Every structure is written in C-alpha cells, then in structure tokens.
A = this chain, B = another copy of it.
Amino acid sequence: MKLLEDRIRRDGRILPGDVIKVDSFLNHLIDVELVSACADEWYNIYKDMGVTKILTIEASGIALASITATKFSVPVLFAKKTRSSNLSQRVLSTKVVSYTHGQSYDVIVSRDYIKKEDKILIIDDFLANGSALRALVTLAEKAGATVLGIGIAVEKVYQGGGEDIRRRGYRIDSLAKIKSVDVESGIEFYE
C-alpha cells in the first residue's frame, strides 16, 4: 500500500538495533485518516467472507482494529496482557515470551466473547517475530473459532514471524512489507 509505505519512508525513524519507530503516526500518535485507509484495504479483501468479529491485542492494535471494525459493522475484541497468575475459569489464555523485553506474560480474552461460530479477522499494527500474533491465533483456536485472515499494517518480513504463521495455513495481508532496514540506506519494501 503506497500511502503507508510513503508515510513510513517520510516519518519512520530508523534506530540502531534494527528498530523502526512509527510512533508519530501509527502507534502512539495515530493518524486516523491513514488508519482508515488501511482499514479500507482490509475491508475490500474480506468484505464478502462473513467476518463476525475483529480481534486484536492491547494496546497499539486497538486503534486500527476499532476503525476496521466500523467498516465491517462488527464488534472488536481486544486481548489483554497480564502478569497475574490468577487466571479465572472465565478466560482463555496463552503465554507469550517477549523477545523485546525479555519477559513472559499471559494474553487473555473472556471465554464469553469468542464463540466457535465466530469468523475472525485479526488486526495488528506490527508483525516482526510474531509472538503476539501467534498468541491471538492460539486464543481463536482454543475457542474453536475460524480465523479468516490477519491484517497487519507493517510486517518486518525478515524477522520470520509472518513466514511461520503463513506456514501454519493462515492468510496474512500486510500493507507494508519491509525487506530491509539500514540506518544509512533507509528502508526497502517488497513490491
């Protein structure tokens, strides 16, 4: 999606350690018109597939997922991160080890809010090693729901998370697929 790639080129900041900061328009300060254009792309792909629910994970996925949900006129459910070991019977949970922060946490959703009849579109802002996304897929699987597909704004393809999840049979529609990042030469995208 050219609009998003151009914005990443213009306003993304490349930091040492393979970090791309998009927090001026995507995940801290959020340009909702850009997000709405992203949501239109996912809507065009999935509009005839019977999506019943949008699933995301707190916090930065919520803006994209909520605006996407308005296009489909379906509810959005956001999974919560918790370090509490006291999980109630009323939640579905899965454990995530964060490579970024070196900590593990549980990702939970209420059992009441994903049903096996649900046809889910997962939405998130970023896909790198895929740990958060695998957790969302696992929660949907535990509920017996169908994951129709996954909409991602920015995928760092070379970190392998997307490849792993596609290999498991899931469809991922990433709007900007990053091939390489370099402080000197900038960001290269896949076509």
Could you tell me which A residues sit within 8 Å of B by CB distance?
A: 23-25, 28-33, 35-36, 58-59, 62-63, 65-67, 69-70, 73-78, 80, 109-110, 112-113
Contact = CB atoms under 8 A, between A and B. Distances in A.
Contact of A75 (B32, B62, B73): B32
Nearest to A68: B32
A28 B77 contact: yes
B75 A31 contact: yes
A124 to B, nearest CB: 13
B113 A29 contact: yes
A70 B67 contact: yes
Contact of A58 (B29, B58, B112): B58
Copy count, this protein chain? 2
Interface of A is mostly: mixed
A74 B67 CA distance: 14
Contacts of A113: 24, 28-29
A73 B67 CA distance: 13
A32 B77 contact: no
Given A28-B113, A58-B58, A33 B63 contact: no
Nearest to A76: B30
A58 B83 CA distance: 17
A70 B35 CA distance: 9
Contacts of A32: 66, 69-70, 73-76
